[in-house]
Each structure stands twice: as structure tokens, then as C-alpha cells.
Amino acid sequence: MDISKLTIVEARRALDAKEYSALDLTNAYLDAIRAKDGEIHAYLEVWEKSARDEAKTADEKIRRGKASTLTGIPIAIKDNILVEGRVASSASKILEHYVATYDATVIKKLKAQGAVFLGRTNMDEFAMGSSTENSAFGPTKNPHDTKRVPGGSSGGSAAAVAAHMALAALGSDTGGSIRQPASHTGLNGLKPTYGAVSRFGLMALGSSLDQIGQLTHTVADSQILFDAICGHDENDGTSLPDMKKNNAPMKRVIGVPRIFLEKGTDSDILACFEKTLEKLRAKGYTVVDIDLPNLSYSLAVYYIIQPAEASTNLARYDGIRYGLSMQAPSIQEVYSKTRGVGFGPEVRRRIMLGTFVLSSGYADAYYRKARSVRALIRADFTRAFESVDAVVTPTCPSPAFKFGAKSDPLAMYAEDIFSVPANLAGVPALSVPMGTVVSDDSDLPVGFQIIGPHGGEETLFAIGNDVEKFEV
Ligand code: GLN
């Protein structure tokens, strides 16, 4: 068994053909973790024993001819998704010892299929960041160049899959946290339509932006995991009703928001992007320049709305209800001491930013204004999708950067320029590999982002497949 080339599709075939057992497969991944994760640090915790038990149960299911698509498939889970009885820390000191009391809906669905859970993966604390350097438990390294970040905030999930220490992984994406690490590690990453996948059991960051999604080696694998985790959930008030797959014929027209792309994007990334457009033209797509006039406000709008929602969501970590609790003479001091010790610098920065933009004197100037502009951004997309199947951009303006290179928070925020619009508009977006660029003698993967209309995941997979099929 060669796990360095394995996909879910191939593993399913081999498991069903009894070429190896689910236990063999799980053991192969556990061996890979033991061999490599000391250096990469993708995992915060590996669940060896339960993974083997789940693999044995999967083998039994396969033997009885009762296997589902994901039976026996070893996957990794981001540390902000609850698995009953397991620590879920969001890579924060404040939740270091917090044990989840129930399964997130996505976990329930994967358990029902008999998937194998290898462990929980590292991330930026509370999913705030673009590099995984904000983890309270140390950064994760990029398997393509260990001097560089894997992207964030789902950097542990991406590194685990890219280094073949999991066949696939779940992440969460509030402003790019699945797509960006996918881009930096050469994987596929989907941020589903807002409401397509239940958020029940996902630790809330920006509730109007958050979605769970998957990191995989291929588009076909992405589609399999998406089908497994999507669907209506009455436990999530923003969950969409089950939708019929949109099988409307595609126009085969792709839109490029040209003016938006050219400011501040590395020239070699733009060159890869142009090459990918060429491939799509060769596949019969028409590529047109389009104007989404409000897109350039996305980053400013995101960094008002996201901290605003984060500051209210994180109010629950008060030293009383969850996790860390510092002793102090008064309740007020319990709050401030616990939050001062428990939260890292980026989390504190966002709480302050969010509290400021929501405060009574400033909410009109910042928060409400940002919400109005968000509506304009959404309208730009709605208008664009009247004439194009998808809007495409590079996933990130630069390839994976070296540790410490973006220590200025504003430089880090600028990394999210292409990923935040899809979250603001609630539309789905897929990052697929579009080749590599060379930096300091390293070949660094870069991603092509395909943004679709609400519920347009099938369109993204179709276009993603056309891009992927050109890869050798
Ligand atoms: N990098 C963005 C941020 O720091 C997005 C994070 C995310 O998607 N969770 O907010």
C-alpha cells in the first residue's frame, strides 16, 4: 500500500476489494504520523487506540457488505469541531482541558458512515489567523518547506493531509481558513455555501461567516466528503433546507474580476493564474473580465464584522462556564484574569476591535456601515452570476511565507484579500492546485479559487475537475 498517492476513491475501491483492511490502512497513517509529525506538528492529539477500534468496526462492516463511502477512511478533525468525550481546545489555553460533551453534526454524520478519526489538528487560536502561528501550542510547519507556514487557520488539517498523515481532513472557514492552507499545501479545499453544512458543534468565531468544509487531495474526494457532511440540521438555525442538486446546464462562462486581482498579487502567481485560464479556454470555457465594484471593500468590511461577531461569541469564555478559571477575590477579577491569561494576543486584539466597532458611539460608523457594504458585495456577486458560472481569482496573493514574515497584523490580514468575499456573500468557493512557484529554491504550491452562486457546489466541482485534469 502506497499512501503517498492514495485518494478516498482509491482507498474505497481497495478496501471493498479486500486488498488491505481498514486496520492496515489506519495503521499505515498512524505510522506516518509517528514518523513525521514530530517535525510537522499537524496534530495536537492523536487518537491511536480509538482509531484502531473504529478501523476494526469498519472492517466488520465491510465484511458484512454494509460499507458506506467513508467506512474505514482515516480522517483528521480541526480542533474547533466537537467530538464527544474528546478535548476540543481551539488551540487556546483557555480551553486546553475542555472536553466536548456532544458530537458536532458533521461528526455524527461521519460516525454513521464508519469513518476513522485519527486525531485533532492544530490551528490558529479560535481560528483567527492565516498561518497557524497563532496556536497557543506552537506552529505547524508546511510539509513542502518546513521553514514556511502551512497557511491558516486550518493549517494542521492541511499539513496532515499534505504530508499523508490523514487521507482527508475537516477544517472551518470564516474568511479563508480552508482555502488558504489548501493553496499553500497543494490541496483542494472547499468553503461550502453558508448554511449548507451544519455549524452545530463548531466553536463559533464569526457566526454569519463560519462554515465547516474539507481538505482533500482531489476534487472527487472533496465531493465525497461534502456529500457526507452537508444537509439540513434542525440544531442549526441558519441551516438551509435540503436542496436538490442543481443540474442546470452550465453557461461555460467564467468571470475574472481583473482590476481587483492585479494590486499586490505576486507576478508569478498571476502567471500561474493566466495559465490556468488558458487551460479552461482550451476546455471550451469563455473567459470574460467582469467588474464587481464593491469587492475592494471586502477586507475592510470583513475585519469589522468578523471581530464584532468574535467579540460577542468569545464572551462565553469567562472562567465560569468553560475551561480555564483563575482564582481571584471578585467575579470581575475572575473574568479579567482568566481572559488575560487564557487568550493569546491576536484573540485579545480582535476582542478589543470588535468591542470598539460595536460600542454605542461607533456602531453606526463602523459595524452598521460594514453591514451595508456587505449587502453591496453580495449584490455584486448576484449580478455577476446572471452572466457567468463562476468568478475566479488566485486563492492567495502570495505563496506560503516564512515563519515570522507577517508579524505585523495588517500584513497578515492582507493575505485574506481574495478569500473573504465568498464568506461575506455566503457563496461557496473551492481552491484547487494550479501549479507551483519557486521561492528560495523551494517549489511552493499555489491555488486557483473558483467562487460559485449559492448552492453551486456542483458547478465548482465540475470546473475544479477541468482544472485538475490538466495537472500531471
Ligand atoms: N485569516 C482570516 C482571519 O484571520 C480567516 C480565518 C478563518 O477563516 N477562520 O480571520
Which percentage of the chain shows pLDDT scores above 90?
Answer: 95
Number of alpha carbons in the 13 Å side-chain half-sphere of residue 451: 27
| Per-residue pLDDT reduced to its tens digit, 12-35 | 999 999 999 999 999 999 999 999
| Per-residue pLDDT band at 441 (split at 50, 70, 90) | confident
Average pLDDT over residues 201-226: 98
Q: For residue 127, which atom of ligand 1 is closest to its CA?
A: 9
The order of strands in the sheet holding 390-394 is 43-46, 116-121, 74-78, 168-173, 211-216, 188-191, 429-439, 442-451, 390-394, 253-256, 286-289
Quote the CA–CA distance of 239 and 190 in Å, as a whole number: 17
Q: Determine the average pLDDT of the residues in 208-213.
A: 98
Is residue 244 very low, low, confident or very high in pLDDT (cuts 50, 70, 90)? low
Q: Does the pLDDT at position 471 exceed 60?
A: no
Residue of 128, 350, 412 to mutate, ligand 1, most atoms within 8 A of C-beta: 128
Predicted local confidence at residue 264, as pLDDT? 85
- What is the arithmetic mean of pLDDT over 153-159? 98
How many angstroms separate the Cα of 108 from the Cα of each of 12, 57, 111, 242? 20, 16, 5, 17
**Is position 325 within any domain?**
yes
Q: 104 lies in a domain?
A: yes
Q: Is residue 24 part of a domain?
A: yes
**Cβ 153 under 6 angstroms from ligand 1:** yes
Residues 174 and 31 in one domain: yes
Q: What local confidence, expressed as pLDDT, does residue 262 receive?
A: 81
Give the CA dihedral 142, 146, 149, 153, nearest 10 degrees. 40
Give the pLDDT score at 472.
Answer: 43
Q: Is it the case that residue 469 has pLDDT exceeding 90?
A: no
Is 176's C-beta closer than 6 angstroms to any atom of ligand 1? yes
Ligand 1 lined by 211 (C-beta under 6 Å): no
Query: What is the arithmetic mean of pLDDT over 292-320?
Result: 97
Q: How many structural domains does the chain have?
A: 2
Domain presence at residue 287: no
Return the ligand 1 atom nearest residue 416 CA: 1
Same domain, residue pair 31 and 141: yes
CA of 209 to the centre of ligand 1 (A): 10
In whole angstroms, what is the distance from residue 143 CA to residue 362 CA?
A: 44
Is residue 207 located within the same domain as residue 74? yes
Q: Write down the pLDDT at residue 247.
A: 66
Task: Answer with the one of 318, 346, 364 that is the final residue of a domain.
Answer: 364
- What confidence category does residue 1 fall into, taking pLDDT thresholds of 50, 70 and 90? confident
* Mutate which of 80, 81, 121, 124 for ligand 1 pocket (most atoms within 8 A of beta carbon): 124
Residue 460 lies in a domain: no
Query: Tens of pLDDT along 116-148?
Result: 999 999 999 999 999 999 999 999 999 999 999
Tell me the average pLDDT across 247-252: 84
pLDDT exceeds cutoff 80 at 470: no
pTM of the prediction? 0.97
Is residue 187 located within the same domain as residue 41? yes
Please indicate, yes or no, whether residues 212 and 320 belong to a single structural domain of this protein.
Answer: no
Same domain assignment for residues 219 and 329: no
Compute, in angstroms, the gap from residue 155 CA to the centroid of ligand 1.
Answer: 11
pLDDT confidence band for 224 (50 / 70 / 90): very high
Closest CA to 409 of 23, 133, 28: 133
Answer yes or no: is 15 within a domain.
Answer: yes
Same domain, 197 and 322: no
- Calculate ∠ Cα 428-458-202, nearest 5°: 45
CB neighbour class for 345 (10 Å; exposed up to 12, middle 13-18, buried from 19): exposed
Among 121, 213, 216, 123, smallest CA distance to 168 is for: 216
Q: Is the peptide bond between 4 and the residue preceding it cis, with omega within 30 degrees of 0? A: no
The residue from 229, 254, 283 where one domain ends is 229
Cα 153 to ligand 1 centre (Å): 6
**Catalytic positions:** 78, 153, 177
Q: Distance, CA 177 to ligand 1 centroid (Å)?
A: 5
In this predicted structure, the answer to whether residue 434 has a pLDDT above a threshold of 50 is yes
Structural domain span for residue 211: 3-229
Q: What is the mean pLDDT of the chain?
A: 96
Residue 397, CB half-sphere, CA atoms under 13 Å: how many? 16
Q: Is residue 188 part of a domain?
A: yes
CA of 412 to the centre of ligand 1 (A): 10
Say which CATH number the domain at 135 has: 3.90.1300.10
* Cβ–ligand 1 contact at 177 (below 6 Å): yes
Give the integer Cα–Cα distance in Å for 441 and 206.
38
Q: Which atom of ligand 1 is nearest to the CA of 174?
A: 8
The residues with which 381 forms a beta bridge, in sequence order, are none
What is the average per-residue pLDDT within 404-431?
Answer: 97
Tell me: pLDDT of 2 over 70: yes
For ligand 1, whether the C-beta of 51 sits within 6 Å is no
Tell me the mean pLDDT in the region 188-211.
98
Q: Which residue has the cell 485579545?
A: 348
Residue 455 lies in a domain: no
The model's pLDDT over 316-352, given as tens digits with 9 standing for 90+, comes to 999 998 889 999 999 999 999 999 999 999 999 999 9
Helix (H) or strand (E) holding 375: helix 369-384
Cell reading at 67: 460499507
For residues 108 and 189, state if they share a domain.
yes
Domain final position from 204, 229, 254? 229
Position 334 scores a pLDDT of: 95
pLDDT tens string 280-291: 999 999 999 999
